[in-house]
Amino acid sequence: MNESAALNESGAGLPVSSWLEAEDFDNNRTLALSSAALEYHVNPWDIMLCLSGTVIACENAIVVAIIFYTPTLRNPMFILIGSLATADLLAGMGLILNFAFQYLVSSETISLITVGFLVASFTASISSLLAITVDRYLSLYNALTYFSEKTLHYVHLMLVGTWGASLGLGLLPVLGWNCLDDASTCSIVRPLNRTNLTVLAASFFVIFALMLSLYFKICKIVCHHAHQIALQQHFFTTSHYVATKKGVSTLAIILGTFGASWLPFAIYCLVGEREYPSVYTYATLLPATYNSMINPIIYAYRNTEIQRSIYMLFCGCFQTKGSYRSRSPSEV
């Protein structure tokens, strides 16, 4: 007998559902359990999501602070990395707040605001990854003019588009595109209705396809550059082969990590039904949050300029000798 049946028999009212909770169905446990009833335990999946959010927030808060307080990190590449870190920071905070509100406050309004905040944050994170991919492609395709004002203009346009679209998608549940009035339209992620979740999943696949296309073009440019260098030097050295292989491997790791994190959840959003056990939703959503945990490692902490800034901020033992120019993505 599940918790819903126990509440009904005792005559107690069922608390407001969490943003991941589906309506009560036979043989299905609810995703979120209220802490108001002492005999009920906190869902372990919710604890893992909260812990994931805590790690995400801490990692990305450092990146945001480093970029904000370091004047030399102002070129387009670091602006986009800062956008990605900000989005992931907000996503981590959203996971923490969702856990707190879910077990401390029972309110449909707060549930809508929380899910809208998370949708906007994760959408901004994924869109920022696409913007970084575009920036890397431009840095290779237009290497000679990359540091011009035109590039900075493109970056600002991408930022406006990224955060504008993310905010718009995040506001949809709050403005009425939800299933609170009609439980039959609920998706695997309550209170989002199935149409809303389908739009979000389709948007992800479009972004993922664009990233695949751009990274394929980047690989072609990298291999072409390596071939040109080999022709100029009349032979293809081992170092050239190793560098080219390393560059292609890095791109494969970036795409593989992103796909492995988000594809299971995106696919389940399209094929899953609200009657399915909630464990399937948790099992696909949790890896998706790991992408925001890995992003600062791939895009920030491996960068030498950010490493130098971290040493200066926390250790105070690294002294720079003169000024240095931030490298472009193509140089990285």
pLDDT band at 310 (very low <50, low <70, confident <90, very high): confident
* Structure-block tokens of residue 24: 């009560």
Phi, psi of 103 (to 5 degrees): -105, -10
Q: Give yes or no for residue 323 having a pLDDT over 70.
A: no
Q: Percent of the chain scored above 90 by pLDDT?
A: 42
| Strand, coil or helix: 71 | coil
328 belongs to a structural domain: no
- Residue 154 or 122, more confident: 122
pLDDT band at 5 (very low <50, low <70, confident <90, very high): very low
What is the mean pLDDT of the segment spanning 175-194?
86
Q: How far apart are CA 118 and CA 196, in angstroms?
A: 14
pLDDT in the model for residue 200: 94
Lowest mean pLDDT among 144-153, 263-272, 293-302: 144-153
pLDDT tens digits along 138-172:
888 877 777 777 888 889 999 999 999 999 999 99
- The HSE-up count of residue 300 (CA atoms within 13 Å, CB side) is 29
What is the mean pLDDT of the segment spanning 97-108?
85
pLDDT band at 117 (very low <50, low <70, confident <90, very high): very high
pLDDT band at 227 (very low <50, low <70, confident <90, very high): low
- Residue 97 or 245, more confident: 97
Is the distance from CB of 56 to CB of 88 less than 8 angstroms?
A: yes
pLDDT in the model for residue 283: 94
Helices (H), ranges, the chain: 3-10, 44-69, 76-104, 108-141, 149-174, 194-232, 238-271, 278-296, 304-310
pLDDT in the model for residue 199: 93
Q: How far apart are CA 262 and CA 244, in angstroms?
A: 28
**Mean pLDDT of the chain, nearest integer:** 79
* Residue range(s) defining the domain that contains residue 232: 43-313
329 belongs to a structural domain: no
CATH number of the domain at 71, please. 1.20.1070.10
Q: How far apart are CA 269 and CA 266, in angstroms?
A: 5
205 belongs to a structural domain: yes
pLDDT in the model for residue 273: 87
Is the distance from CB of 132 to CB of 299 less than 8 angstroms?
A: yes
Which of 76-80, 98-102, 118-122 is most confident? 118-122
pLDDT in the model for residue 38: 39
CB atoms within 10 A of CB 42: 15
Q: Which one, of 197, 203, 152, 189, lies nearest residue 19 by Cα?
A: 189
pLDDT in the model for residue 243: 57
Per the structure, the count of domains in the chain is: 1
164 belongs to a structural domain: yes
pLDDT in the model for residue 234: 55
What is the mean pLDDT of the segment spanning 238-242?
54
135 belongs to a structural domain: yes
27 belongs to a structural domain: no
165 belongs to a structural domain: yes
pLDDT band at 181 (very low <50, low <70, confident <90, very high): confident
123 belongs to a structural domain: yes
